[in-house]
Amino acid sequence: MNSMTQLQPVTIFKDQFGREKRKLRISVTDRCNFKCVYCMPEHPEWMKKHNLLSFESLYNFCEFMVLRGIDQIRITGGEPLMRQGVVHFIQQLQQLRKLGLKRISMTTNAHYLKQYAHALKQAGLDGINISLDSLDEAQFFQLTQKQLQPVLDGIEAAQQAGFEIKINSVLIKGLNEQQIIPLTKWALQKGFELRFIEFMPLDGDQNWSKAAVVTEQNILDKLKTVFEVQTLHGQGASPARSYLINGLPIGIISTISNSFCGSCDRLRLNAQGEFFNCLFARKGLNLSHEIQQLKSSKTTELMPHDAMALQQKLGSYIWQKEQGFHAITAQSSPSRKISMHMIGG
C-alpha cells in the first residue's frame, strides 16, 4: 500500500440519516475509583479482567476504523487512568496519524492526573476533558465519594504539561445546581472551556427522573443573572450548544431538553468489545471475537477476509442507528440497563 492510497478511507461509515461517523470513543475499562451519584451503581458488577480486549486488539480495531474514516479517538471509561498501559496505548495510536487520525483525547476524573499528565503529553495526547461537578469540598465528596484536592492538583498538572483542558459538569436539581456560577467564574478565571451536561438516564441504579434535570434553559437563566451571555451559532457535530461569556466559550449538552443528535458523528466501543451506534442504543453489537481476529493491515494490500466480514457487520449495524435520544425513548421496547461507567461518556 503506498502512502497516497493509505490516506483514502476504504469506506466511510454512514447511518440511514446520512450522518458520517468520524469520532470513536473507546472505553478501556469499566472500573472507577469514584462513585458519582449520576453514574455508578451502588453495587457495580465489574467486567471480568479476562474478557477485556487487550491493547493490541484495541489498537488493531482503531486502525481498522481510522482506515474507514474515523479521525478522532477519545479514550474513556470507567476511569481510563485506572487501566495499566493506557499511556503506551496512546503512544501507539500516534502511528495512526499517517492514516488520517487527527486527534486523540481522553475523558478523566483527574484523580490520577498529577501522576500521569506529563507522560500523557509526551505520549501525544491532544486534549483532556475533566469531570468536575462542584468546587465545594463537602459537596464534591457527597457526589463522588472522593476528595476534591487530588482533582484540582491533577487539573493543575495537566495545565502545566501544556494541555488544552475542558471541564465537564453534570448538574442535578437539589444537589449541585448552586455550582453554576462558582464553576463558571472559576473556569473563566482559569481560561478553561466549561461544558454543563444535563443529567441523562444512564445512572447505574436507574434513579434518573426528568424532575432532577437542570435544563439548558435553567442554566442560561442562572448565568444571565450574573453574566452577559452571547449565543454562538453553528454547533456542527458537537454535542454542546455554545455560548460566549467574557469572550470564553461555555457549552451546554442538553440531551434531554434540546437534544444534539441531529448531526451525531460518534460511535462507541466498550472495554469487552461491545459496540454501540448510539449512547442510548437499545442493543449493542458484540464484536469481541471479530476484533480479536483482526490483524494490523499495515502490511497487506488486499482486505483480509476477517476485515471484510467485520466491515459488513459494522456497516449494517451503524446504518441502523436511530435518529436520536427522543426517537429511542419513544419506542415501547424495553431499554437496556446500562450505566455510563460501562460505555464511557
Contact set with ligand SAM (CB under 6 A): 32, 38-39, 76-77, 79, 107-109, 131, 168, 170, 197, 199-200, 202-203, 340-341, 344-345
Residue number with CB closer to ligand SF4 (92 or 109): 109
Q: How far is CA 53 from CA 58, 80, 270, 289, in A?
A: 6, 14, 9, 10
Tell whether residue 77 is a contact of ligand SF4 (CB under 6 A). yes
Partner from ligand SF4, ligand SAM, none binding residue 65, C-beta < 5-8 Å depending on class: none
- Name the 3-class secondary structure at 242: strand
Tell whether residue 255 is a contact of ligand SF4 (CB under 6 A). no
Residue number with CB closer to ligand SF4 (32 or 252): 32
Alpha helices in the chain (DSSP H): 3-6, 55-66, 86-93, 113-123, 137-144, 149-160, 180-190, 216-224, 288-293, 305-319, 325-329, 340-343
Tell whether residue 32 is a contact of ligand SF4 (CB under 6 A). yes
Partner from ligand SF4, ligand SAM, none binding residue 134, C-beta < 5-8 Å depending on class: none
Sign of the alpha-carbon torsion through 248, 148, 268, 326:
negative
Tell whether residue 250 is a contact of ligand SF4 (CB under 6 A). no
Residue number with CB closer to ligand SAM (239 or 273): 239
Alpha helices in 54-148 (DSSP H): 55-66, 86-93, 113-123, 137-144
Among 24, 26, 28, 39, the residue binding ligand SF4 under the rule CB under 6 A is 39
Residue number with CB closer to ligand SAM (109 or 259): 109
Residue number with CB closer to ligand SF4 (71 or 79): 79
Residue number with CB closer to ligand SF4 (21 or 195): 195
Partner from ligand SAM, ligand SF4, none binding residue 167, C-beta < 5-8 Å depending on class: none
Dist. CA 104–CA 169, nearest whole Å: 21
Partner from ligand SAM, ligand SF4, none binding residue 155, C-beta < 5-8 Å depending on class: none
Tell me which residues in 99-158 interact with ligand SF4 (CB under 6 A): 109, 131
- Give the Cα-Cα-Cα angle 64, 24, 335 (nearest 5 degrees): 115
Tell whether residue 324 is a contact of ligand SF4 (CB under 6 A). no
Length of the chain counted residue by residue = 345
Q: Least Å distance between CB 317 and ligand SAM? A: 22
Partner from ligand SAM, ligand SF4, none binding residue 29, C-beta < 5-8 Å depending on class: none
Tell whether residue 36 is a contact of ligand SF4 (CB under 6 A). yes
- Tell me which residue of 71, 141, 77 sits closest to 106, measured CA to CA: 77
Q: How far is CA 135 from CA 54, 132, 144, 184, in A?
A: 36, 8, 12, 11
Q: Least Å distance between CB 146 and ligand SF4? A: 8
- Name the 3-class secondary structure at 49: helix
Residue number with CB closer to ligand SF4 (173 or 313): 173
Q: Which residues contact 192 (CB under 8 A, 6 or more apart)?
A: 165, 166, 167
Could you give the angle at which helices 113-123 and 86-93 cross, rounded to 10 degrees? Answer: 20
Tell whether residue 208 is a contact of ligand SF4 (CB under 6 A). no
- Residue numbers of the site for ligand SF4 (CB under 6 A)? 32, 34-36, 39-40, 77-79, 109, 131, 340-341
